[in-house]
Amino acid sequence: MKTLLIVHHSMTGGTTQLAQAALRGAGTEPGVTARLLKARDAGPDDLLAADGYVFATPENLAAIAGLMKDFFDRCYYPALDRIQGRPYATLVCAGSDGSNAARQVERIATGWRLKPVAPALIVCTHAQTPEQILAPKQIGAADLHKAEELGAALAAGLALGVF
């Protein structure tokens, strides 16, 4: 049995919706257990116990969310040289861009020597005012479908031993 760990943080619900969609997709693959953990609850033992990862974060001020950064800070050295070669994918929920958050996750994953299995899925909500930024988000069906497909593909690759 393979394990896919999905670590996420969200303040307005958008990133959680994407992470849950990836979980639904991964759940369609026999032989793979998918775990969804909030970044504040995930730790090095969770990383070490998983065979692949989805990191899901909002982009805040052109960076990954603080609690995702905290997760990476707490886990980086305990997992270093212990998870290399494992596959990962990234989900970013952003107001307008998202590319810098995706680059930050990529740099961390490169340090861990993880293997990217897909380009980062960046979903832009186009929230630009303080009210829009802080409002609860509703991610569209097409973007949720993309996140679900990403979770299913990563789980299938794990099950088949492709990654």
Confidence (pTM): 0.97
Position 94 scores a pLDDT of 97
Mean pLDDT over 145-153 rounds to 98
**96-110 pLDDT tens trace:** 999 999 999 999 999
Mean pLDDT over 6-14 rounds to 98
pLDDT level of residue 64 (50, 70, 90 thresholds): very high
**15-41 pLDDT tens trace:** 999 999 999 999 999 999 999 999 999
pLDDT level of residue 2 (50, 70, 90 thresholds): very high
The CATH code that applies to domain 2-160 is 3.40.50.360
> What are the contacts of 101-109 at 24+ separation with CB within 8 A?
101/57, 101/58, 101/59, 101/62, 101/63, 101/64, 101/65, 104/63, 104/64, 105/55, 105/57, 105/64, 105/68, 108/72, 108/76, 109/55
